[in-house]
Amino acid sequence: MRRPNGNIVAALVLIVILAMIVIYSIEFEELLYRYFSTKNSTGSRTPLLVYFGQHIWMVLVSSVIAVGIGVGVGIFATTKSGEEFRDPLLKVVNLGQAFPSPALLALVVPILGYGYEGALIALVVYALMPIVYNVVVGIQEVPEDIVDAAVGMGMTPYQLYKKIKIPLALNVILGGIRTALVINISAATLAAAVGAGGLGVLVVNGVRTFDMVLILQGAIPVTIMAVIAELLLKEAQSRLSF
């Protein structure tokens, strides 16, 4: 069963690189200045580690909440009692995925105010879209005859979900979570605009002061994180689904 594993190896390499960037942030900054900027404005700022921590925390919390709610709502929509909600829900979720994330954040601020909570909720809502969509579609796509056989053997609805529907839909469900996570990692950058911290602070400040180095300092770790998440979840998908 052991096969050489490209995804895992690549992810590990990227994790090491990311760790180096965070640990040796000063050297990283100097390196960037050498190539991307003429002015040298190394001042004492909040260390990269802090922004990095805020960013990861925001992504993790919002993703865990979104997975919990999304999987729950998605499963409910595929049950008999959730049948009426299914089509409207799919429409909303589909539209939601097309809704620009900055606009969503902008909508949240007037309602929830500036800061961490607002950003978190926006991220949760945004991550919900692909998760709910994939849970519903994944479960709906489980072949009719397999469900028929399972019910015919006397499985209760709970056993049907646990033993048949969810395992068979797992690949698609994990695909949704993967999309949500990647989107969230980059969307969390915008959270800085509503004062929620994270690596986005660097990017936002960089854009404001036309400082290429600042932008890259924020953007590079975000990109690496997104790629790592993508690789790890791809791997999980190929391992957990049959």
Where do contacts with other proteins occur on this chain (CB under 8 A)? 143, 145-146, 148-156, 159, 163-164, 167-168, 241-242
**Structure tokens given for 127:** 């991550």
Q: How far is the CB of 90 from other proteins (least distance, A)?
A: 25
Q: How far is the CB of 133 from other proteins (least distance, A)?
A: 22
Q: Nearer to other proteins by C-beta: 60 or 149?
A: 149
* Residue 82: strand, helix, or coil: coil
Helices (H), 2-143: 6-23, 25-36, 48-78, 83-98, 101-112, 116-140
Q: How far is the CB of 71 from other proteins (least distance, A)?
A: 18
Q: Nearer to other proteins by C-beta: 75 or 229?
A: 75
Q: How far is the CB of 242 from other proteins (least distance, A)?
A: 4
Q: Nearer to other proteins by C-beta: 43 or 143?
A: 143
Distance between CA atoms of residues 235 and 242, nearest Å: 13
Contacts of residue 107, Cβ cutoff 8 Å, sequence gap at least 6: 122
Distance between CA atoms of residues 107 and 126, nearest Å: 12
